[in-house]
Amino acid sequence: MAEMTLASIPDFVEGNIVKGIVVDKTPKEAVIDIGYKSEGIVPLSEFEEPDSVQIGQEVEVLLESLENEEGMVVLSRQKAAQKQNWDKILKTFEEGGTITGKVKQVVKGGLMLNIGVEAFLPASQIDIVPPKNLKEYEGATLTCKIVKISEERKNVVLSRREIVEAERNQKRLQFLEKVNVGDLVKGVVKNVTDFGAFIDLDGIDGLIHITDMSWGRINHPSEILKVGQQIEVVVIDVDREKERVSLGLKQKTPNPWEKIEEKYPVGTKVKGKVVNLAPYGAFIELEPGIEGLIHISEISWTQKITRPNEVLSMGQEVEAVVLDLNKEEQKLSLSLKALEVNPWEKASETYPPGSLIKGKVKNFSAYGAYIELENGLDGFIHVNDLSWTRKINHPSEVLKKGEQIEAKVLEIDKTNQKILLGIKQLTEDPWKEIEKKYKVGEVVSGKVSKIASFGAFIQLADEIDGLVHISQISAERVAKVKDVLKVGQEVSARIIKIDKEERRIGLSIKALNYTAEQLEKERERMEFSRPAEELGSLEDAFSKAEEDYRPGESKKKS
């Protein structure tokens, strides 16, 4: 009996947790009997639910001291709970188990949780991807693993990431085991990149490539998807070995190209919107997922367009004609100019060769002038067709931009889309009847029009030029033509030669007073000597003159 009595007596050691009975309760305190010679008082504030404390209730308390100055036992419910929690934390840490706690507050670098004691959960250990906004976890209850403990400082560091990873691994295996191509699955947009978007399928990430987001044109995935957005997608491929899932959005709707031949047969007029402008053409959206290309060559029959944006602009509504389609390559060729009749088809009827036209000088090139005609067509006058008699080096010598002129149609070149015109053809070629106007031995007058090292050109009537060779200027030796003659100077000379074939009239100033006999000798002398500068046509001589000297410019150095 004595042994039994001793065994039933509690082991009252300060610092231990003992059981007691609530024997009395006041508005602020509870009186606890632990079976010792005196009772202890515990503030109700130390209980989790003070109002639920009842007389006769058994509670566990920490024995702080067996006797205080008043002879009472010193007890603590709060310290008992802390010791119990700490013991539980140590045991959980040793066994590698998990513990649950409520988020108390957001602190620098992570969260503070109440797991019986305060514990720190670093932001990097909250989830697989560190959250951007920690405040969304305030008040949440999280299950974590204890990764570090300092008993001296009573510090605890937690990690939730390992638990999340384990859960995701399990869910990933389950997903890969059950999912099939063609299944509809739901997920949340996790990340958006230039090439696509990653979708969290609750355990595994799937990729929607940008080409599988829409049948239509998109420049960036962010035009369709946003991070955090919940979406339903189609599984288009599953690689179970590599644990990869390819997803699609556009596959939820029929491919608009399936019935393209029925909807847009060749020759059909269609309407659409300009969605892209490239150097080689414009892309027109006919409907979501269907785009056609208007090549730059299909914009206009007549306009010389170098870039599509000269005529078209982004968002512009246009009408076009379907030229060609390729269902397999999903290509659709359109044309703007096919809406109108090709004006070149009727160019021969509108401007038959030999007819006279009126038009405005539109532009110059080094070889001629472009003339704006009706129906958007242009004609071209070569410099050689500007004058029968004058050597024209550039069309601006006789024409001005914007000037209204009359010309004759010489030729229609449909293949190269050219209408060749001429101004000189409006009049008869004066060289055809040159013998009727001028005779060898006749004295003529005119103005010096050009000066060269080998002689001077004299403009006669009908703008016909004759050449006075340097040897024919004076009976005395002439070293430089410009020392004797000036451009614009009125001179008289005698015709000593007419060459209709070469279109050349030879003049002589020194032969003005020659007798018929002297003139014949001079003509014969010229025939036999034929100076190099006199060989060839008048056109060749003009060219040589241009090389040697231009009025108003300094002489070129050889």
Domain co-membership, 399 together with 356: yes
* Helix residue ranges per DSSP H, 293-441: 347-350, 434-437
Q: What are phi and psi of 531, to 5 degrees?
A: -55, 150
Is 47 inside a domain boundary? yes
The Cα–Cα gap between 122 and 171 comes to: 25
DSSP element (H, E) containing 476 = none
Which mean pLDDT values do the consecutive 10-residue runs of the chain (558 residues) have? 42 78 85 82 82 85 77 78 79 83 91 87 87 89 89 82 86 87 90 91 88 86 91 91 89 87 91 92 90 92 86 93 90 90 79 90 90 84 88 87 92 83 88 85 91 90 86 89 92 90 88 80 62 43 45 38
Domain co-membership, 394 together with 444: no
The helices-and-strands tally (H runs, E runs) of the chain is: 8, 30
The Cα–Cα gap between 548 and 299 comes to: 47
Is 549 inside a domain boundary? no
pLDDT in tens, 18-69: 888 888 888 888 888 888 877 888 888 878 788 888 888 888 887 877 777 7
Is 174 inside a domain boundary? no
Domain co-membership, 109 together with 53: no
Is 189 inside a domain boundary? yes
The Cα–Cα gap between 310 and 319 comes to: 17
The residues, any chain, with a CB within 8 Å of residue 249's CB and separated by 6 or more, are: 208, 212, 213, 214, 224, 231, 233, 234
Look-up: residue for tokens 């005779």?
A: 439
Q: Tell me which of 422, 457, 490 is where a domain ends.
A: 422
Torsion of CA 304, 371, 550, 438, to 10 degrees: 150
Domain co-membership, 331 together with 350: no
Q: Tell me which of 217, 248, 279 is where a domain ends.
A: 248
User: Which CATH number fits the domain that encloses residue 350?
Assistant: 2.40.50.140
Domain co-membership, 405 together with 390: yes
Is 366 inside a domain boundary? yes
Number of domains in the chain: 6
pLDDT in tens, 357-368: 899 998 999 889
Domain co-membership, 77 together with 151: no
Domain co-membership, 331 together with 347: no
The Cα–Cα gap between 296 and 335 comes to: 9
**Closest CA relative to residue 322, chosen from 343, 336, 301:** 336
Is 555 inside a domain boundary? no
Query: What percent of the chain clears pLDDT 90, i.e. is strictly above it?
Result: 30
Q: Give residue 307's pLDDT.
A: 92
377 within 8 A of 343, measured Cβ to Cβ: yes
Look-up: residue for tokens 């078209």?
A: 312
305 within 8 A of 294, measured Cβ to Cβ: no
Is 271 inside a domain boundary? yes
The Cα–Cα gap between 293 and 274 comes to: 10
Which string of DSSP letters, residue by residue, matches 126-188? TSSS--S-GGGGTT-EEEEEEEEEETTTTEEEEE-HHHHHHHHHHHHHHHHHH--TT-EEEEE
Q: Give residue 356's pLDDT.
A: 92
**Containing domain of residue 206, as a range?**
179-248
Is 267 inside a domain boundary? yes
